[in-house]
Structure 1
Amino acid sequence: MARPLFQSTMHSNTELALPYPALAAEIAALLADTSVHVPPRIVAPLHGGGSLFVMPGSDTQVAMTKVISFTPGNVGTARPTIQGDVLVLDVATGERRLLLDGPTVTARRTAAVSLLAAQRLAPNPDGPVLIVGAGVQGKAHLDAFAAGLGSRRFRIASRSASSAEQLAAHARLHGLEAEVVTDPDAALQDCPLVVTCTPASQAVLHATPRADAFVAAVGAFTPAMVELSPEFCRHFAEQGRIVVDTPEAEHEAGDLLQAGLEVAGMPTLTDVVLQGTATQKDLPVLFKSCGWAGWDLAAARLAMRVAATA
């Protein structure tokens, strides 16, 4: 199904406004900004198993609301599973300043959050990078790690061989090394950097990771979703460190909750940014990301600045 012209233009303009290194830096700046206000997001169930997400946020200058539909029934079709928009307002005047493509914001801010976590926490940032899941988030994370971490070598695993090959071709087109692998567990020993961004319907990683592993898990964002086995999660709790993106992970991190781990009190990305934590070369790190409207606000802030200088 062809994307309508106006959607294609909005997608391209949103991408240009949100370069990954600048977006990761903006996310770090937002976490240090005490004026940021992010109410709890609204999640409304939809008929057929989908969900409607309404995610507002503001600071002293920018207000935004992201309205996103998540439709699992679209998996395997030409229609995206995530659709919607981000409305950006000027706080002083109440005027609408920008309308951003919601799925593009979601993809880029999620990957930028993982990038920021890797920049601050990865014991061995040199790669190769194992990406499990070759959809929109797989591509976003590949691009983000290449742009912001300097990653050049990638291993790609996906339930869809054609999707994995397409992502590998995309990587090679941009001068990167990419290899499709069929067993992500076997690839763990070759890859100190790992990203899981699957539909989160079943565990895709079970084996013991490297001692210097950094794993960013972004696919599961409800208590019922999972992409890491309980044993995999408990390994990090017992032998390494687990960092979550926000305190809301206490109710949303399906991987950790189904592993029987006490998520409340785990360090957050805010703790990492504000307090600083020294990486330990022999201590693996699991970064569990569930999503937060603050990441969308960071994207809106950056897009506003880019638009002002255009």
Structure 2
Amino acid sequence: MSPETTAQALPYPRLAAALAALLQDPQVQVPPRLVQPLPGGGSLFVMPAHDAQLAITKLITFVPDNAARGLPAIQGDIVVFDAVDGRRIGLLDGPTVTARRTAAVSLLAAQRLAPRTDGPLLIVGAGVQGRSHVDALADGLGLSEVLVASRSAASADALVQHARDRGLTATRVDDPDAALADCPLVVSCTPAQAVCLRGRPRDDAFVAAVGAFTPRMVEWAPEVCRDLARRGTLVVDTRDADLEAGDLLQAGIDVAALPTLADVVAGRVRRPAAGPVFFKSCGWAGWDLAAARCAQAG
């Protein structure tokens, strides 16, 4: 499928529901992903998964500095097979699936855990993930207001215009730490090459920390993560985060002791009565399998 056709096959509310269903399917198998460093500083990701009907392999490259080349940071495809007879039955655009399923994971977590879902929403990072999160949370939560922060004023302004085109009230902010005081919904989706957030989220905040997906990457200052652990609830997307959640690992937090989104969907962890929620998303091939299931169900 082209990027446009792939996007049309993955509406955010239906994709979030597919993610929840996958987490309750005992036949889903997701082996560890292979990450192969590339000579130019990027990485090749090989991510297989299957259930009783479908098998997928995601093959993508991630090159953080590709913007300087005029290329997207993520490139590649997801190959979909019939798990019974082995036929190839689909090909999805990898960057489109990555953007949409990642934002849908944040949407699912917010639907189940956010103390407040009415916004305003603060987006920190105005790239592909910033745009997909604006769309996902607007479609799934009914937001009306978005604040956008980015190192690039041009990127921030472009995302602000996109939000306005959707009918949202949208504003660029230059100090995301200060904007935290006004926003019960926060998504950080930066390149995660250095700490960019040192402010204290509100007591009723839901934070989806998306950018850092290796132990060395980081968006949130360690002292902020430790503060959130003391006064709020920390949840990770999957157990893969035990070795990948850079923000939490660099804060010295025992990630393996934290609940996962599967615990939330199963009802073992519920929306907290008080305190902020910090949801750490690192990625998982199971999310891509859920996207393939959603697209095939069409």
Q: Distance in 2 between matches of 1:295 and 1:124?
A: 25
Shift of 1:95: 1.0
Q: Counterpart amino acid of 2:68?
A: G
Q: Which amino acid aligns with 1:132?
A: V
DSSP 3-state at the match of 1:203: strand
Which of 257, 260, 271 aligns to 1:268? It is 260
- The partner residue of 2:227 within 229, 235, 239 is 235
Q: Number of matched residues? A: 298
Q: Could you tell me how far 1:198 is from its partner in structure 2?
A: 0.2
- Give the corresponding residue for 1:75: 67
- Kept in 2, the 8 Å contact 1:124–1:281? The answer is no
Cα contact 2:160–2:170 (8 A) shared by 1: yes
Which of 246, 252, 259 is the equivalent residue of 1:254? Answer: 246
In structure 2, C-alpha distance between the alignment counterparts of 1:170 and 1:76, rounded to whole Å: 23
One of 86, 90, 114 as aligned partner of 1:122: 114
* Aligned mate of 1:245, from 237, 246, 251: 237
* Rounded Cα–Cα distance in structure 2 between residues aligned with 1:209 and 1:257: 19
Q: Is the 8 A contact 1:212 1:281 kept in 2?
A: no
1:146 aligns with 138
Give 1:4's aligned residue: none
Secondary structure of residue in 2 paired with 1:170: helix
Measured in 1, the distance between the counterparts of 2:122 and 2:207 equals 9
SS state at 1:141 partner: helix
Which residues in structure 2 correspond to 1:158-169 (within 5 Å)?
Answer: 158-169=150-161
**CA positional deviation for 1:276:** 4.6
Offset of residue 202 of structure 1 = 1.1
The whole-number CA distance in structure 2 between the counterparts of 1:159 and 1:77 is 18
SS in structure 1 of the partner of residue 56 of structure 2? strand
Determine the structure 1 residue equivalent to 2:212.
220
Report the Cα offset of residue 281 of structure 1: 4.9
CA distance in 2: counterparts of 1:24 and 1:293, whole angstroms: 15
TM-score (norm 2): 0.98
Gaps of 5+ in 1: 1-8
Aligned partners of 2:178 and 2:196: how far apart in 1?
Answer: 11
**Equivalents in 2 of 1:147, 1:72: separation in Å?**
28
Q: Displacement of 1:283 after TM fit?
A: 1.1
Point out where structure 2 has 5 or more consecutive residues left out of the alignment. Answer: none
Corresponding residue for residue 105 of structure 1? 97
Deviation of the 1:236 alpha carbon:
1.1
Segment drifting more, 223-232 vs 68-77: 68-77
8 Å CA contact retained: 1:195, 1:216: yes
2:50 pairs with 1:58: yes
Distance 2:167 2:188 in 1: 23
Corresponding position of 2:191: 199
Whether the 8 Å CA contact 2:213–2:246 is kept in 1: the answer is yes
CA displacement at 1:37 relative to structure 2: 0.6
- CA RMSD of superposed structures (Å): 1.0
| CA–CA distance in structure 2, aligned partners of residues 190 and 137 of structure 1 | 22
Counterpart residue type for residue 151 of structure 2: R
Greater CA drift, 200-209 or 222-231: 200-209
> Residue 157 of structure 1: CA displacement?
0.2
2:293 maps to which residue? 301
Q: Which moved more, 1:259-268 or 1:290-299?
A: 259-268
Q: CA 1:296 to 1:126, structure 2 compared with 1: closer, same or farther past 3 Å?
A: same
The code of the aligned residue for 1:152 comes to: S
Query: Residues of 2 paired with 1:174 and 1:238: CA distance?
Result: 37
The answer for the alignment partner of 1:189 in structure 2 is 181
Equivalent residue for 1:280, pick from 263, 272, 280: 272
Percent identity, please.
63
1-side partners of 2:64 and 2:196: how far apart?
A: 18
Cα distance between partner residues in 2 of 1:12 and 1:272? 32
| Secondary structure of the corresponding residue to residue 172 of structure 1 | helix
**C-alpha deviation, 1:273, in angstroms:** 0.4
For residue 211 of structure 1, the aligned residue among 181, 203, 210 is 203
Structure 2 letter corresponding to 1:189: A
CA contact (8 A) 2:232 2:275 kept: yes
Measured in 2, the distance between the counterparts of 1:136 and 1:204 equals 18
Distance 1:77 1:147 in 2: 32
Match of 1:46 among 28, 34, 38: 38
Aligned to 1:275, the other structure's residue is in SS state coil
TM-score computed with the length of structure 1 as normaliser: 0.94
Aligned partner of residue 228 in structure 2, secondary structure? helix
CA distance in 2: counterparts of 1:291 and 1:101, whole angstroms: 17
Aligned partner of 1:132 among 119, 124, 128: 124
